[in-house]
Amino acid sequence: MGARRDALAPAAKLAIEIRNIAGKHSDSVCTVGSVKTFPGIVTAVVGRCETTLDQRDLDAKVLESMLKEAREASERFAMEENCTVDWSRIWNIEPVPFHPALIELAEQAIEEVAGLSHRMPSGPLHDAAEVARAGIPTVMLFVQSLRGISHNKIEDTKEDHILLAVQALDRLASKTMGWIEQQ
């Protein structure tokens, strides 16, 4: 066992370490979204392992720091396991803030309908980020997914939450039209 160069071992260590990296920052998330091993058969030591890493934060400097930490950790784990590591960038998008006035209007609309609003950053690469990047005032409303599961075939939302969301969206649209008229 001591002579093996199992490429999955450093990848597994990194998958755990990225939680610590993200945990240093209040709005950060890090996810290993896929792991592929080669040759990919049960009786063979993993000779090559490919993983994907998604890191998100609203601050570009925090993202830069987290990526540096992840790279350093991957190199350390590879050395510990007598393996090598290579990185390639698949996608990079800088954080795009939504329009502050629209965020306030969205919060007002939600509070008027539901009595309570929770602000949360939007991590996934929504089309809204590209709209905001184009200079168009943008905001998003989210509706709670049951058990916190989203982007999955078992995603579900309570019907009364959907109704409240539609009402809040209607109020936000009205408030936004008024805001536009004042511009």
Instruction: Write down all domains in the chain, each with its CATH number in brackets.
Output: 8-80 (3.30.70.360), 100-182 (1.10.150)
pLDDT at 125: 67
Containing 34, the helix (H) or strand (E) segment is strand 29-38
Helix, strand, coil distribution of the chain in percent, nearest 5:
45, 10, 45
pLDDT at 161: 96
The 10 Å CB-count burial string (b at 16+, else e) for 116-131 is eeeeeebbeeeebbee
Overall pTM surpassing 0.75 (yes/no): yes
Please check whether residue 49 is in contact with residue 32, taking contact to mean a CB–CB distance below 8 angstroms: no
Residues of the chain with pLDDT under 70: 123-125
pLDDT at 127: 86
Please check whether residue 131 is in contact with residue 97, taking contact to mean a CB–CB distance below 8 angstroms: no
Residue 37 DSSP one-character state: E
pLDDT digits (tens, 9 = 90+) for 31-75: 999 999 999 999 999 999 999 999 999 898 999 999 999 999 999
